[in-house]
A and B are shown apart, each in its own frame.
Chain A
Amino acid sequence: MVTAVLLLLLVAVILAYRGYNNFHRRRVTRLHEKWQPILVDCLDQAPENLPAISKKDIADFLLLWNYFHETLREAGKDNLNATAIQLGLDEWSLRAVSGRNIRNRLTAIQTIGWLHDTRGWEALANIMKTADPVTALCAAKSLLRIDSEKILPSFLELVAEKSDWSYSTVGKLLKEAGADHITEPLLKEIGKRSGKELVRLLRFVDIAFADRSAPIISRLIRKEKNVEVLLSCLRAVSLPDDLKTVRKLLKHEDWRVRTQAAIALGRFGTQEDIDRLAHAAGDQSWWVRFRSAQALASLPGMTNAMLRDLAENHNNIFASEVLTKVREEMEAYG
C-alpha cells in the first residue's frame, strides 16, 4: 500500500516536473523572442525605455546576455552593460553571488565580471581563494576582467599552488588577459617557485613576451636538475644561445629529457646538429630514436637524399630503420 502510494506520488511528481519543464522552455523561448532583437539593437546605440523584466526571468535573461558578451568583440559591450544596469541586474548579481543556487551563482559571477563592477571585488576574491575549482576559476575570470593588474599577483600565486585548477581554463584566462599584463607578474612568480609549482607556472610561459621570458628559461635550463622543470623549459626554449645546453641535454640520463631535447633541436637546431641527431637516432629509447629522426628531417637544408644517405650508412640497425621510416613518411605525405 505504502509503495503503491509512493509510486503514484512519483508519477505525479515526474509529470508535474515535465509540465514545469515544458512551461519553462516556452517561457525561455518567449523571453528570447522578446529580448534578442532588443539586445541586437543595443549593440548600435545605448538603450532607452527598456521593458521591465520579471524576477523569474532574470537568470535566463542573464544567460542570453552573457552569450552576447561571449560572442562579441569590443564594440557593443558598453551598451550591453548599460542595458543590464538599467534593468537592475547588477544588484541582482551582487546578491546572487553569495546565494546557494549554483546556476545563479555562476551566472552572477560571470555577469559582475562583464560589468566591471568593483562592488563585487571582495566577494569574488574570496570565492577565488576558497571555492571549488570551477567556481573559483569563474570568479578569477571576472576579477581579471575587472582589474587584471590588481588580481594577477594573487591569481598567479594560486595557479602555482592549486593543483586542482584546470590548466586549460587558466591558460584561457591568461591569454585573455594578454602578454602586456601577465608577463611581469608571471616571470616574477616563476622566480619565486620551484619543483611542481614552478612546472605549473612554466606551462604558461609562452603567453608572456618571448624576449622577456627567454632569458629566464635560459637560466633555468642551465642550472635546473629537476627533470620535470627541464622538460618544461625544453618545450619553451628558443634562443640560439641555448643550443649548447640543449645539445648537452641530448645525452641526459632520463629518456624523456633526451626526447624533448631532440624535439627542441628539430625546432631550432642547425646543420651542425646532423651528426648529433643521427647518433641519437640509435638511442636505446624508441621515443628518442623516433624524435631524433623527425628532428633530423626538419633541420634546415635537410633533403630526402641526405636522409637516405644517413640511413644507409648508419652503423646502428635501429637508427637505419627509423630514419628510413621517417624518410618514407615524408615522401608519402609530403
Chain B
Amino acid sequence: MLWDLLLTVQWLCLAFFVGINVSYIVLCLISFLALPKIVERHFLLRELPQPHTSYEIPISLMVTAYNEEAVIVESVRSLLQIDYPEYEIVVVNDGSKDKTLEVMIDAFDMVELPVTVRSRLPHKPITAVYRSKLFPQLRMIDKENGGCKADASNAGIDASIFPLVSPLDADTVLERDTHKLLVQPFLEDSSTVAVGGAVRIANGCLVKEGVLVEKGLATFKPLVLFQVLEYLRAFLFVRVGWAALDALPIISGAIGLFDREAVVEVGGYSRETHAEDLEIILRMHLYYIESGKKYNIANVPDANCWTEAPETYKILRKQRVRWHQGFVECLWFNRKLVFNRKGGLLSWVSIPFQFVFEAFSPLIEISGYVSTIILFAFGHLSLYGAGIFFVLSVSLGILLTFTSILLEEIIFHTYPKTTHLLTLFAASVLENFGYRQINAIWRFTGLLYWAIGYEESRVMIRSASWQGQGGGETSSQEGSKDSIISEGHGSKA
C-alpha cells in the first residue's frame, strides 16, 4: 500500500515535470519571438535625443521609507536625475525610528506645510507634510507607522498629485530612461491601468550618488549569482511570454507605474497580505474582469531598475519564505480569477498555471524528493532510472537558463565582460546542486506558513553595501524591499 502511494507520487512528479517544462519551453519560444520586436520598436526613443513636450503624462514617484537613514538621501538624489519632463517625488516616512526624517530635512532643506491630503485609501494618519526648498518637486509625508508597506503606499497614493504613480523602494536604482519607457503603454492604450518593468540585481555593480556607474556581477557570491539567473528567467522569458499572450498575472513591486485612479478604484493596497504588490495586480485583474471594463496590464522588458539582492543565507531564506507565503496568500485571496468565464487566457491558463506550477509546486517537489529517497533506500527504485531522470531535469533546467542568457545577450548585452558570461554559465550548472533544492524547502515552508497562518517577523536587514557612499546596515519593513519573482523554481521536482 505504502509503495503504491509512493509510486503514485513518483508518477505525479513525472507529470508535473513534463507539464512545467513543456510550459516553460513554450513561454521561452514565445518570448524569443516577441522580445526583439518589443525592444526594437522603441529603439529610436532610446538612441536619439527626444525633446520634451508638455504632453507627457506627469508622474508621482513614491518612495516608502521605514528606517532608511542610510540610503534615503542617495535614493532621492538618484530620482532627481531621471530623464522625465514632469514628475514629483513623494517620500513617505512610515514612522521611522531612526533619523530618516531628519536626514531628509537636512539634505533637501525641507519646510513643513499644512496637511492638505485627501484620504481616500485606508492608512494610518499623516502627521506632517514637508516640501523641499531646493527641489520644489520633492515632498515628504510623515505618518504614523502602519506596520506594513501597504499602509505607507496607500498614504503615498493619497498624497500624490499626478495621474500616474510609481511606487519605488528606497534602495532602488533607476536607469535614466526607465520611466520614459514605462509610460509608453499609457500613451498608446488609454485602458492601461498598470505597467511593470524589469528588475536587475545591483550587487557587483558600481553605484555612485544613486546612479548606476558600471554594470557588473558579484562574481564570487554564488547566492547572488543564483538570484541573477532567477531574475533573468523571470523577467526575460516568463513575463514577456505571458504578456505576449495577454495573460500577464503579475508585475514587479520594485518597478511599476500605476494609474492612480485605478488603484483608488480597487481600494488601494491590501494591508492583510505579505505581498501587497502582487495582490493589487491580481485584484485589479479580478475587478476589471468582473466589472467588464476594458483594461490593460502591460510589461516593458527594457525599462530596468536595479536592486540589492540578499547576500546571506539567513536573509535570503527569510525573503523566499515570505515571498512564497505571500504569493499563495494572494492567489488564494483572488481565487475567483481561476476559470472565470470572462477572464480569457489569464483565467483559463495563466492563473491555474500559477496555482499548480508555482504555488503548490514545492509540495510536489518535496514529495518527489522524499518518495525517491524512501523508494531508493528500500530498493524499489532503480538507480539507473532515477539517475536518468535527475540528469534530464538538470539538463532541461540548464537549457532554459542558457536560453535566458542568450536572450539577454542578443537583446540587452547587460554584462559587458566575457568572464561574466562564463560565470553565469557556471552558476547555471551549480544552482541545480543544492540551491534549487533548498529553495524548494524554503517555498515549502512558505506554503506551510500560509496553511497554518503563521506570521514571521516582518523586519529585514539590508546592508546597502553596494551603494558607493552611505553604506551601513538598515532595516526595512518587509514588503517594502522586493518583489516576487515566479519563474518555475519548481522545475526540478
**Is there an interface contact between A63 and B47, defined as CB atoms closer than 8 Å?**
yes
Main secondary structure of the interface of A (DSSP, over half): helix
What are the residues of chain A within 8 A of B113 when measuring CB–CB? Answer: 328-329, 332-333
Q: Could you list 27 A-B pairs, sorted by A, with CB under 8 Å?
A: A3-B395, A3-B396, A4-B395, A6-B399, A7-B398, A7-B399, A10-B402, A17-B406, A21-B413, A63-B47, A70-B49, A102-B41, A106-B43, A132-B41, A134-B188, A164-B188, A164-B189, A168-B183, A168-B187, A171-B55, A172-B53, A290-B116, A322-B116, A328-B113, A329-B113, A332-B111, A332-B112
Is A286 in contact with B118, judged by CB distance below 8 angstroms? yes
Known A6-B399, A107-B44, A333-B111; 19 more pairs at CB < 8 Å: A3-B392, A3-B396, A7-B395, A7-B402, A10-B406, A18-B418, A63-B48, A70-B48, A102-B40, A134-B41, A164-B189, A168-B187, A172-B51, A172-B53, A325-B116, A329-B116, A332-B111, A332-B112, A333-B131
Given A10-B399, A70-B48, A325-B114, A102 and B37 touching (CB < 8 A)? yes
A40 within 8 A of B: no
B80: Cβ under 8 A from any A Cβ: no
Q: Tell whether, in the assembled complex, residue B188 and residue A133 are in contact, meaning their CB atoms are under 8 Å apart.
A: yes
A138, CB-defined interface residue at 8 Å = yes
How large, as a class, is the contact surface on chain B?
35 or more
Q: Which residues of B contact A (CB under 8 A)?
A: 37, 40-44, 47-49, 51, 53-57, 111-116, 118, 131, 133, 183-184, 187-190, 392, 395-396, 398-399, 402-403, 405-406, 409-410, 413, 418, 421, 425
Which residues of chain A come closer than 8 Å to B111, judged between CB atoms? Answer: 332-333
Q: Are B115 and A325 within 8 A (Cβ)?
A: yes
Query: Is the CB–CB distance between A14 and B421 below 8 Å?
Result: yes
Residues of A within 8 A of B399 (CB): 3, 6-7, 10
- A6 contacts across to B, CB distance below 8 A: 399
- Docked complex Cα distance between A333 and B409 (Å): 50
CB-defined contacts of B189 to chain A, threshold 8 Å: 163-164
A12: min CB distance to chain B, Å: 11
The total of interchain contacts (Cβ-Cβ below 8 angstroms) comes to 110
8 Å CB contact of B184 from A13, A63, A138, A166: A166
B116 touches A326 (CB 8 A): yes
Residues of the B chain whose Cβ atoms lie less than 8 Å from the Cβ of A70: 48-49
Q: Is the beta-carbon distance between B418 and A287 smaller than 8 angstroms?
A: no
Determine if B395 and A67 form an interchain contact, defined as CB atoms under 8 angstroms apart.
Answer: no
Q: Which residues of B contact A290 (CB under 8 A)?
A: 116, 118
Could you tell me which A residues sit within 8 Å of B by CB distance? 3-4, 6-7, 10-11, 13-15, 17-18, 21, 63, 66-67, 70-71, 102-103, 106-107, 110, 132-135, 138, 163-172, 175, 203, 286-287, 290, 322, 324-326, 328-329, 332-333
- Complex contacts, A7 vs chain B, CB 8 Å: 395, 398-399, 402
Let me know if B114 and A329 touch, CB within 8 A. Answer: yes
- Whether A67 contacts B49 by the Cβ 8 Å rule is yes
Whether B43 and A11, one on each chain, are in contact in the complex, defined by CB atoms closer than 8 angstroms, is no
B421 and A18 form a contact (CB under 8 A): yes
Cβ of A169 and Cβ of B187 under 8 Å apart?
Answer: yes
**Distance from B146 Cβ to chain A, minimum over Cβ atoms (Å):** 22
Given A67-B48, A333-B111, A333-B131, A103 contacting B40 (CB threshold 8 A): yes
Residues of A within 8 A of B418 (CB): 15, 18
Residue of B nearest to A15 (CB): B421
Verify B55–A167 contact, CB threshold 8 A. yes
B44 touching A110 by the CB < 8 A rule? Answer: yes
Q: Which residues of B contact A328 (CB under 8 A)?
A: 113-114
Nearest CB to that of B119 among chain A residues?
A286
Complex contact A17–B409 (CB within 8 A) = yes
Question: Are A168 and B55 within 8 A (Cβ)?
Answer: yes
A97 to chain B, nearest CB (A): 14
Judging by beta carbons under 8 Å apart, are A170 and B41 in contact? no
Knowing A3-B395, A325-B116, A333-B131, the reply to whether A14 touches B47 (Cβ < 8 A) is no
- Which of A21, A168, A326 has a CB less than 8 Å from the CB of B56? A168
Q: A171-B53, A203-B55, A333-B131 are in contact. Are A14 and B118 (CB under 8 A)?
A: no
Minimum CB–CB distance for A301 against chain B, Å: 23
CA distance A325 to B112 in the complex (A): 12
- Min C-beta distance of A66 to chain B, whole Å: 6
Give the CA-CA distance A70 to B40 in the complex, in Å: 19
Q: Return the 3 tightest CB-CB contacts between A and B, nearest first.
A: A171-B55, A166-B187, A3-B395
- How far, in whole Å, are A45 and B265 apart by their CA atoms in the complex? 60
* Complex Cα–Cα for A10 and B403 (A): 7
A13 and B48: CB pair below 8 A?
A: no
Contacts A70-B48, A290-B118 given; does A21 touch B409 at CB 8 Å: yes
**Contact A134-B42, Cβ < 8 Å, known A10-B399, A21-B413, A63-B47:** yes
- Considering residues B51, B55, B111, B113, which has the most beta carbons from chain A within 10 angstroms of its beta carbon? B55
B296 to chain A, nearest CB (A): 10
Whole-angstrom distance from the CB of B446 to the nearest CB of chain A?
Answer: 30
Residues from chain A with a CB closer than 8 A to the CB of B421 are 14-15, 18
Instruction: Name the distance in Å between A285's Cβ and chain B's nearest Cβ.
Output: 9
Chain B: minimal CB distance from A144 (Å): 14
CB distance from B40 to the nearest CB of A (A): 4
Docked-complex contact B190 and A163, CB < 8 angstroms: yes
Q: How far is the CA of A325 from the CA of B43 in the complex (A)?
A: 46
CB closest residue in chain A, given B415: A18
State in angstroms the CA–CA spacing of A103 and B42 once bound together.
9
Complex contacts, B114 vs chain A, CB 8 Å: 324-325, 328-329, 332
Do the beta carbons of A14 and B37 come within 8 Å of each other? Answer: no
CA distance A14 to B411 in the complex (A): 12
Nearest chain A residue, comparing its CB with the CB of B422: A15
| Interface-central residue, A10, A15, A135, A290, by most chain B CB under 10 Å | A10
